[in-house]
Amino acid sequence: MGKYQCYYCEKDTDSAHQIYFFQSKQEREELLCDVCYSDWLESLKSEP
Ligand SMILES: [Zn+2]
């Protein structure tokens, strides 16, 4: 069991990365595991 639960894949993880994003015009704060965090970073890079 990890200390945190990933927001995206819902797996338990010991190393969590905090992210901020807007959803329905509200700022949200969530935790991502290493894998999802790197995916999230990639998706930011691909935006124009
Ligand atoms: Zn994840």
Which residue type is seen at 45?
A: K
**9 C-alpha to ligand 1 centroid (Å):** 4
Q: Give residue-wise pLDDT tens across range 6-39.
A: 999 999 999 999 999 888 999 999 999 999 999 9
User: Does residue 23 contact residue 34 with C-beta atoms inside 8 Å?
Assistant: no
- pLDDT (0 to 100) of residue 44: 85
Which residue type is seen at 42?
A: E
Closest of 42, 39, 30 to residue 5, by C-alpha: 30
DSSP string, 1-48: --SEE-TTT--EESS-EEEEEEETTEEEEEEE-HHHHHHHHHHHHT--
**25 C-alpha to ligand 1 centroid (Å):** 24
**48 C-alpha to ligand 1 centroid (Å):** 25
- pLDDT (0 to 100) of residue 20: 92
Q: pTM for the complete prediction?
A: 0.78
